[in-house]
Amino acid sequence: MQKQLEEICAKALNEVENAQNSADIDAIKLEYLSRKSVLNNIKKGLKDLTPEQRPIVGAFANEVAQKIEQAVNEKEQAIYEKELNEKLESERIDITLPGRNIPMGKIHPLTQTVDEIVSIFQGMGFTITDNENSPEVETEYYNFDALNFPKDHPAKDMQDTFYTKVAPNVILRGQTSGAQIHTMETKKPPLRIISPGRVYRCESVSARKNNLFHQIEGLVVDKNITFADLKGVLNEFTRIYFGEARPTRFRTSFFPFTEPSAEIDVQCIMCKGKGCKVCSQTGWLEILGAGMVDPNVLKGVGIDPDVYTGFAFGMGVERLAMLKHAICDIRMFFNNDIRFLEQF
Ligand code: DAH
């Protein structure tokens, strides 16, 4: 019996030694240390031994059981640590790896430009006019007549204006200037408003022209408003928008709703006035139209031109965005090419 126990002990220790993982250990425990184990079977047989042999073999059997148990415990601990290390290693996170790129939408460059221009004027105390005072579907009255356009003005021609079938005088507006009239009809001076929005013109599309584009209209009406106020406001606008004070030029022009009228140029931001392709060798870039509100326009909306004066201006958003970002084709704003849009 002693010999049998020694064999069991040797076999068990050998198996423990060769155990690779916790499953092997569980199998060994079941075979040698459980109630149904070989060792337990031997212990059950002790009762058949003589009284002299019984304590000796019994003590030896306990010794063998302890030895196996100790070996199993040590191996179990080693395997546990090994398996834990393997698991930690396999789940290791490399915190130096660059993050995964999550594609995010961006604000369209035209919207960004509108927001930027609007916030410059808000900084000077202008407020955005109410939406209902800036409709895209307009009547000829607001787009032309109330703005002092003569009845036979060429802009009213079918070539320029999109007419609708709703009624003969209902059109898509060709300029945001109608917002001036809507605003002055519903609000009394002092007024200091801007009105951004879409305008439509029936023209052939090219790198410089699209039949949908955006304008920002401005209007100031109060007592003692002069051309100096107009110059001050627009010079300050160009300084902030183009990032530095640069020379501007107020050129005599004509608009039916302003007198005097001007077109405002800024020194070419590409060549700084030397002359290049962008400014057609002139050294200047036209950025907006403006002028003092014509007394006829004020009269038409019931504002006394002997008491109040005002100035107005209108700028093309696409043009300003193209100049600032050196974009050479207006159609890029409308093609929705992600490679273009991503850059803003
Ligand atoms: N509405 C003009 C255009 O589309 C631009 C403009 C010129 C607006 C002079 C104004 C202004 O308010 O005073 O060409």
- Measured in Å, residue 158 CA sits from the centre of ligand 1 at 20
Residues 288/215, Cβ–Cβ less than 8 Å: no
158 pLDDT higher than 70? no
Burial of residue 214 (number of CB atoms within 10 Å: 0-12, 13-18, 19+): buried
Whole-number percent of the chain with pLDDT over 70: 99
Bridging pattern class, strands 191-200 and 258-267: unpaired
Q: Compute the average pLDDT of residues 315-325.
A: 93
Give the pLDDT band of residue 157 (cuts 50, 70, 90).
confident
Q: Is residue 96, in this structure, part of any structural domain at all?
A: no
In total, how many domains does the chain have?
A: 2
Atom of ligand 1 nearest to the CA of 314: 8
- Probe ligand 1: pick from 216, 313, 315, max atoms within 8 Å of CB? 313
Give the pLDDT band of residue 199 (cuts 50, 70, 90).
very high
The two tokens of residue 238 are 């160009």
- Measured in Å, residue 87 CA sits from the centre of ligand 1 at 72
Atom of ligand 1 nearest to the CA of 217: 12
Domain boundary among 59, 90, 121: 90
- Measured in Å, residue 315 CA sits from the centre of ligand 1 at 7
Domain boundary among 29, 58, 90: 90
Distance CA 158, CA 180 (A): 24
Q: Are residues 80 and 193 in the same domain?
A: no
Give the pLDDT band of residue 210 (cuts 50, 70, 90).
very high
Residues 303/221, Cβ–Cβ less than 8 Å: yes
Q: Report the largest interatomic distance among the alpha carbons of the chain, rounded to a whole angstrom.
A: 137
Output the pLDDT for position 38: 81
b/e for 146-173, b at 16 or more Cβ within 10 A? Answer: bbbbeeeeeebeeeebeeeeeeeeebbb
153 pLDDT higher than 90? no
- Measured in Å, residue 188 CA sits from the centre of ligand 1 at 22
Distance CA 66, CA 154 (A): 111
Triad 212, 218, 243: Cα angle to 5°? 85
226-242 per-position pLDDT tens digit: 999 999 999 999 999 99
Atom of ligand 1 nearest to the CA of 258: 13
Distance CA 301, CA 181 (A): 7
- Probe ligand 1: pick from 134, 149, 176, 177, max atoms within 8 Å of CB? 177
116-149 per-position pLDDT tens digit: 999 999 999 999 999 999 999 999 999 999 999 9
CATH number at residue 143: 3.30.930.10
- Measured in Å, residue 284 CA sits from the centre of ligand 1 at 19
Instruction: Please name the residues in contact with 150: beta carbons below 8 A apart, sequence gap of 6 or more.
Output: 256
Which domain, by its residues, includes 156? Answer: 109-341
- Measured in Å, residue 119 CA sits from the centre of ligand 1 at 20
Q: Are residues 156 and 12 in the same domain?
A: no
How far apart, in Å, are the Cα atoms of 194 and each of 89, 177, 180, 260, 326? 63, 10, 9, 20, 26
Q: Is residue 100, in this structure, part of any structural domain at all?
A: no
Distance CA 344, CA 338 (A): 10
**Nearest CA residue ID for atom 2, ligand 1:** 314
- Measured in Å, residue 92 CA sits from the centre of ligand 1 at 65
Q: Are residues 281 and 209 in the same domain?
A: yes
Whole-number percent of the chain with pLDDT over 90: 66
Residues with CB under 6 A from ligand 1: 175, 177, 217, 255, 258, 289-291, 312-314
List the strands of the sheet with 137-139, edge to edge.
Answer: 137-139, 170-172, 162-163
The two tokens of residue 253 are 């022009």
Q: Are residues 166 and 237 in the same domain?
A: yes
Q: Are residues 185 and 274 in the same domain?
A: yes
Q: Is residue 240, in this structure, part of any structural domain at all?
A: yes
- Measured in Å, residue 300 CA sits from the centre of ligand 1 at 18
Q: Are residues 139 and 247 in the same domain?
A: yes
Q: Is residue 304, in this structure, part of any structural domain at all?
A: yes
6-41 per-position pLDDT tens digit: 888 888 889 999 999 889 999 998 988 888 888 888
**Nearest CA residue ID for atom 3, ligand 1:** 175
The two tokens of residue 185 are 């009809």
- Measured in Å, residue 179 CA sits from the centre of ligand 1 at 11
Q: Are residues 74 and 146 in the same domain?
A: no
Atom of ligand 1 nearest to the CA of 219: 12
Q: Are residues 86 and 132 in the same domain?
A: no
Among residues 340, 342, 307, 310, the alpha carbon closest in space to that of 322 is found at 340
SS3 of 194-257: the string is EEEEEEECCCCCCCCCCCEEEEEEEEEEECCCCHHHHHHHHHHHHHHHCCCCCCEEEEEEEECC
Q: Are residues 143 and 270 in the same domain?
A: yes
- Measured in Å, residue 334 CA sits from the centre of ligand 1 at 23
- Probe ligand 1: pick from 192, 230, 255, 261, max atoms within 8 Å of CB? 255
List the strands of the sheet with 127-128, edge to edge.
Answer: 127-128, 191-200, 212-222, 309-316, 284-293, 258-267, 248-255
Q: Are residues 153 and 57 in the same domain?
A: no
Distance CA 323, CA 108 (A): 16
Q: State the virtual CA torsion across 35, 38, 39, 42 in degrees, nearest 10.
A: 110
Atom of ligand 1 nearest to the CA of 174: 4
Among residues 234, 252, 242, the alpha carbon closest in space to that of 325 is found at 242
